[in-house]
Amino acid sequence: MAAKKISSHTKRTKVPAETTEPRTKTTISMSTVYAGYTIWKEPTAPSWHPIKCMRYVFFRMIGGCTVTDAIREIHWDPAQFWHLVDLKRHGPFREEYARAKKLQGRAFADSVLIVAEGRDRITRIQKKRIDRMITKSLRRIAKTKSKVYAKIIFSQLMSDLREHDKIIMTRNKLQMDAAKWIAKTANPMEFSESARIALGADLPGFGEAAPILIQFVGPDGEVVDP
């Protein structure tokens, strides 16, 4: 039998070139990062990793809680929290903290309307105290047989109500001013009152900025070259 001739040339298969796709920025979903987090109400500190404690503070900030109150809830040392925030200031934790501050500002901005409408916790407590005061005074008036004494009780009640109204209004003003200040400092891009002018540049959160044309106009109303 004749031997088959072996060719020295092998057939080369063309390998497709590697395609490089642009890398997309990875975003962390709050529903996955803070899944399972609930408000800690136990009298003792949880046995969590410091990273989880830090994220719990972020979780509470999103709901409008202050950093101090969130740290106190889990009986944590504030120095450890701020040290960890500074230590993890790069990477995803920086993005989480910035987002928590932004949403915290929105929550405090919403609380201004709640306080103004009298739906906050402190105002509700004051209203219950006033209701008890009115009920007690009316009972005293109903029991007395002297019209003069009843008039004195009623006058004292009206004076106390005016004093309580002043206390509530002063307290509400302080609450709203504090909430507005926190909203401005936590989320200045949305709630700061300072004016920003973009000279042909794009600022994050303000959309595309239009260029500004500056012209020099003479006394005769004609545009002159500077």
Residue 213: per-residue pLDDT: 58
pLDDT in tens, 107-164: 998 888 888 888 888 888 888 999 999 999 999 999 888 889 999 999 999 999 998 8
**What are the Cα distances from residue 43, in Å, to 9, 21, 40, 72, 169?**
80, 52, 9, 11, 34
Phi/psi at 145 (nearest 5 deg)? -105, -5
How far from chain centre, in Å, is Cα 99? 8
Buried b (16+ CB within 10 A) or exposed e, 167-204: ebeeebeebbeebbebbbebbbeebeeeeeeeeeeeee
Given a cut of 60, whether residue 40 has pLDDT beyond it is yes
Given a cut of 80, whether residue 199 has pLDDT beyond it is no
Given a cut of 60, whether residue 4 has pLDDT beyond it is no
pLDDT in tens, 83-92: 998 888 877 8
pLDDT in tens, 6-35: 444 444 545 444 444 444 444 556 667 787
Give pairs for 93-99: CB < 8 Å, separation 24+: 93/54, 95/28, 96/28, 96/33, 96/55, 96/58, 97/58, 99/30, 99/62
Contact 141, 154 (CB under 8 A): yes
Please, what is the average pLDDT of the chain?
A: 78
